[in-house]
Amino acid sequence: MEIRLTCIGETKLPFIVEGIAFYQKKLRHYLPFVLEEIPDLKLSQNLSPEERSLKEGLVLLKKLQPGFLVYRLDEHGKMPDSLSLAKHLSAWQMSSKKGVQFLVGGPFGFSPELKQTVPDAISLSALTFPHDLVRLMMVEQLYRACTILKNEPYHHGHLKY
Interface with a second copy by CB under 8 A: which residues?
Answer: 12-16, 18-19, 22, 45, 49, 75, 79-82, 85, 106-108, 124-131, 133, 136-137, 140-141, 144, 155-159, 161
C-alpha distances (whole Å) from 146 to each of 97, 150, 154 are 18, 6, 10
Q: Minimum Å distance from CB 86 to a second copy?
A: 11
Nearer to a second copy, 81 or 96 (CB): 81
- Report the length, in residues, of the chain: 161
Is residue 39 within 8 A of residue 11, CB to CB? The reply is no
CA distances from 132 to 6, 14, 67, 69, 145 (A): 12, 10, 26, 22, 20
> Based on CB atoms, which residue is closest to a second copy, 45 or 96?
45
Closest to a second copy by CB, 84 or 116: 84
Q: How far is the CB of 66 from a second copy (least distance, A)?
A: 29
Which CB sits closer to a second copy, 61 or 122?
122
* Shortest Å distance, C-beta 67 to a second copy: 27
Strand, helix or coil at 92?
helix
Distance (Å, rounded) from C-alpha 101 to C-alpha 63?
10
- Separation CA 9–CA 122 (nearest Å): 20
Q: Smallest distance from the beta carbon of 93 to a second copy, in angstroms?
A: 19
